[in-house]
Amino acid sequence: MAYQRDALPGFAGIPTFFRAPRAEFDQLESGVVAVMGAPHDSTLGSRQGTRYGPRGIREGSLETIAYIEAGPEKFVTHIASGTRMSLAPGAPLVDVGDLPVYPNDLDRTRESLRRGSCLAATSGALPVMFGGDHYVTFPLFQGVSEGLAARGVKRLGYIQFDNHLDLSDDNRIWGKHYHGSQARRISELPIVDAHNMVWVGASGYTPREQVDWLRRSGGTLWTPTDIHREGITHVVNRAIEIASHGTDGVYVSLDIDVVNGGASPGTGSVVTDGLSPQELIQAMGMLAASGVVRALDVTEVAPPLDPSERTIRIAASAVLEFLSPKIYLREPHVVERLRSAKETERAPA
């Protein structure tokens, strides 16, 4: 007698992202979203725990899919917009698992991450990658850029959502390769022009050398103060415009510490001046709608530092918002129509 499988609660089952099917690299093809993990934090200069980030972000996505699958209607309604959302049949989302890492061998880890992200980008898939500390962005970007170059891409823009610049050149403790230097290393790659590099959300204190580099290089920065004054919509629109100008696409790197630490404490460098979760979600939706993003990574999520699981849920929600056009079918204005019907019933004869 065959065993009939049913919907599972979020705490059960094998935690692929959003319960996507597992896949191997040789199964990837153009149009597919390829989720992968980079659970490396040996280059982390703050509180430890980001090696558990890929697993945590995957687990943070499971309540949402369980909520949809267990419901009688197989869809949910987004209350604010009135949009009815159901899973797209055959949604092009797969999880290729975690890339191998070697905690005591940075060169070997860097090559592993570069090769894995390169294979995904070469296939035509959209790489969505979970760290790990923020240094992993350097080899992931390097691999993606090589894979896209093989498909004819000549220039890439770069947008970094982060409370830090990560433009260190040579730290006396950590050297040239750690989670405070990856943006500087990326700027040295030939596929990138600093005029197409944008930082969103950086604040606080940083060495003068990093600020000077940013100013003379032609990069662009919006601080949280700028964002709160100008609005997240204006800032993200301008970031997309600058990063994509004259390029063949944009790589987006999200360090979760860009979110105010009161809402998102599960990270090594908690900050008090940052974006709200709502601003982050809105930004991810705008990036998805822009159509220019060729790869996304999410880093610095440290689940052991946040027993409340707020941080993994925020990170997973940000990714799901970015992927929303690919994984959901939408029927607009359901709530508005219902509201209009009720108002009609109450109207005087």
Residue 348 domain flag: no
- pLDDT value of position 312: 98
Taking the C-alpha atoms of residue 302 and residue 325, their distance in angstroms, rounded to an integer, is 28
Residue 2 domain flag: no
Residue 238 domain flag: yes
- pLDDT value of position 333: 62
Residue 8 domain flag: no
- pLDDT value of position 221: 97
Structural domain total, the chain: 1
Taking the C-alpha atoms of residue 40 and residue 100, their distance in angstroms, rounded to an integer, is 9
**Which parts of the chain have pLDDT scores under 70?**
1, 333-349
Residue 237 domain flag: yes
Taking the C-alpha atoms of residue 159 and residue 140, their distance in angstroms, rounded to an integer, is 14
The CATH number for 118's domain is 3.40.800.10
- pLDDT value of position 344: 56
Residue 3 domain flag: no
- pLDDT value of position 161: 98
- pLDDT value of position 5: 77
Residue 1 domain flag: no
Residue 116 domain flag: yes
Domain that holds residue 132: 19-342
